Structure 1
Amino acid sequence: MSSLGRIQRTAVRLFADHGFAATGIREISRGAGLNSATLYHYAGGKEELLVTVMRDCLHEILRAGREALAPTEDPAVQLVRLVRAHVAVEAINPLTAKVTDREVHSLTGDNHTEILAIRHEYEGLFRDVLRRGAKQQFHITDLSITRLAVMEMCNGVANWYRPGGRLTVAGLQDRFAELACRMVGSRPVDRTEYEPGVVVPRLESEPEEDA
């Protein structure tokens, strides 16, 4: 693991456990086994660490979302593939995803503007699928609320899912895709229509399970 990766993992764990505002740069450097001067060699400060982690996470979920939509124009299949990709990112990178979702308000200036823009672009993938689906087959009374409900359902995975439990990531994806389809009144989607799915990696910023 690179020194920057070690710093990011330490920062993500501390941000997730205590919040960005309550975490000091000395705690991060101590947890990464470095002194503060060395840490500043790799990262310009606490906010730079945060925005780098969030940028990488959002770029990954945006990549996964675009890849999920690419093979088909059918909104029902696209929704299933999009939900499955989102759930995978949250389940495989729970602490990074949690920090990315919770700490936008901690960013300032251009950092805040940049992250909001990437997040808005990703939200647009869901918005477009639901809008097209509503015109063709979905039963939706409020597009904005439906989008928020589906996305928040997926975001919540990072708060409670842990490997080794009752469901594998694949099993979790199945349940959430089914729930999303029921929420919008979609037709059933057969497995042959959405496989192979999107491969989601573990981000360098994601701490080890037993760390």
Structure 2
Amino acid sequence: GIRELGAEAGINSATLYHYVGSKELLLASIIRACLEEMTQAGERALKRSADPAVQLAGLVAAHVGLTAVNRLTARVAEYEMRGLTGTNRGEMQKMRDDYEAFFGHVLERGGRVGVFHVDDLAMSRLAVLEMCTGVAHWYRPDGRLTLPEIQDYFVRAAFRLVSADYEALDGADFMETSTRLGSEPVLDDLWAKN
């Protein structure tokens, strides 16, 4: 609860309540920050090119990167929305739906122009998103592959999922450096100890 958060941060719960207001407002602010950053990264990926293949590669790389760099925050944003009520829940759900629509629109347009071959648009969108979000459960900065290698691997996997030709990217620049959010604890030292 709030007391434990305050103790961990080295401040008393009264101070935390003064600045946050409630556990729900704290949760909503964490989810909002994550979804805002994902949305901004998605918008940058879409602006990088009009080609649906490059757009999908950018969306996947950005999602994997943000999720890897913000493992705990991404998990909170993905799985704790159920802890929100009323307006907070509605606002966060709309933000998530709008973000996920980037993937749906790109897949639909790519299918229409023959770049992707998608039997079920909704299932393909969900499969790509769930695959990318799963990185939050296992990524470690000291792991076997670098983050750019993992991002590229996931782009290739997404392309296989929608029967797209990875070679169509032909050197397109779809990667970007992901931002660590303020809500994300620094875990690099902790990972090194375990």
Specify if TM > 0.5: yes
> Structure 2 CA distance, aligned partners of 1:162 and 1:57?
19
CA-CA distance at 1:139 after TM superposition: 1.1
> Structure 1 CA distance, aligned partners of 2:160 and 2:102?
19
1:77 is the counterpart of 2:54: yes
> Structure 2 CA distance, aligned partners of 1:46 and 1:202?
22
1:1-211 maps to which residues of 2 (within 5 A)? 24-137=1-114, 138-188=116-166, 189-190=168-169, 192-195=171-174, 197-209=175-187, 210=189
**Aligned-residue RMSD, C-alpha:** 1.1
CA-CA distance at 1:191 after TM superposition: 5.5
> Structure 1 CA distance, aligned partners of 2:13 and 2:102?
40
> Structure 1 CA distance, aligned partners of 2:43 and 2:55?
10
Aligned length in residues = 187
TM-score (norm 1): 0.86
The answer to whether the Cα contact below 8 Å between 1:62 and 1:122 also exists between their aligned partners in 2 is yes
CA-CA distance at 1:193 after TM superposition: 1.2
The answer to whether the Cα contact below 8 Å between 1:67 and 1:198 also exists between their aligned partners in 2 is no
The answer to whether the Cα contact below 8 Å between 2:45 and 2:59 also exists between their aligned partners in 1 is yes
The answer to whether the Cα contact below 8 Å between 1:80 and 1:194 also exists between their aligned partners in 2 is no
> Structure 2 CA distance, aligned partners of 1:84 and 1:136?
22
CA-CA distance at 1:112 after TM superposition: 0.2
The answer to whether the Cα contact below 8 Å between 1:76 and 1:133 also exists between their aligned partners in 2 is yes
TM-score (norm 2): 0.93
Q: Tell me, which stretches of 5 or more residues in structure 2 are unaligned?
A: none
CA-CA distance at 1:32 after TM superposition: 1.2
CA-CA distance at 1:75 after TM superposition: 0.8
Name the CA shift for 1:42/1:112 in 2 (closer, same or farther; >3 Å).
same
